[in-house]
Every structure is written in structure tokens, then in C-alpha cells.
Amino acid sequence: MPAALLQIELVTRRPETTLAVTRGAARLMRDLGHAPLLEVGLPNGRRADVMALGPRGEIVICEVKSGVEDFRYDQKWREYGPFCDAFYFAVAPDFPQPLIDATCGLIVADGFGGAVLREAAPAPLAPARRKALTLAFGRLAALRAGQG
């Protein structure tokens, strides 16, 4: 099996971990007063696992990593910075935390909730980009709410 396919297979073997960490990170965002959405497309074609709108209009992105293989294989997280005020990795409790770049926020989560272990370095968005992202976020939330 080619190395790239083996890596993809290793990454996709932990769907229950991914689901639990995503759920916990979203619950944490709600607990912190943010409104989270899952699987949000960004203008650069990437997809944020969790994107949340805070009470003062701040935009937070959480990139969920199910394990070390997922973290090492997927390096597109650097492309999320221009679309948020704060960027976090959300990982399971057993994830080796020293692997996470010190400039990124760190959330440890499971299916029941999560905790911020390290705050994200603030990187305020330009007003025009914030407005565009906030409008897109609101539209997506409204469209999803209208589905049920």
C-alpha cells in the first residue's frame, strides 16, 4: 500500500474520537458564550471543523485532531489564521500536547465537554473581513436552522 494511502487510512480509523472531540469542543464554545457551527467552509476552500462566533463578534476556529497521525498528516491548519481572531487545536485527553505549536490555542475535549489549556494568540481580523465572515456565518446558521 502506498504511504499516502496508509496515512489516510490511519487518520480515518478514529471517527469516534473525532466525533467526541468535535462535540466536546462545540460544547465548550457554547459554555464560553460562543455560537458554534460545525464543518464551515472558508473563502480559501478549506473547511473549519468548528467555527464559533463570540459575544463581541470575535471569530474562533477549532481544528480537531483525532490523533498523532491526523496531526502529522494534515498540515493545512496554517491556512485558517486569516479567517479567525483566535485559532485552537482541539484534541483528546490522551493526545501528546507538546506536539501542538505554542502559538496555537489548545483545547482538550471529549464527548461531554472540554477545557482550554492554552489561550490562542489574538490575531484580530480586519473589519471588512470580519463583516464578510460574520454575514456568511449568520447565513449558514440560518440555512441550517431552516432545514429542520
Rounded to whole angstroms, how far apart are CA atoms 66 and 32?
23
Rounded to whole angstroms, how far apart are CA atoms 89 and 65?
7
Q: Which residues pair with 23 in a beta bridge?
A: none
Q: pLDDT of the chain along its 148 residues, tens only?
A: 454 444 444 444 579 999 999 999 999 999 999 999 999 999 999 999 999 999 999 999 999 998 999 898 888 889 999 999 999 999 999 999 999 999 999 999 999 999 999 999 989 999 999 999 999 999 999 999 987 5
pLDDT digits (tens, 9 = 90+) for 4-30: 444 444 444 579 999 999 999 999 999
DSSP character at residue 119: P
From the list 129, 128, 120, 148, the residue with the least C-alpha distance to 34 is: 120
The three-class DSSP label of residue 128 is helix
Rounded to whole angstroms, how far apart are CA atoms 97 and 32?
22
Q: Which residues pair with 109 in a beta bridge?
A: 114
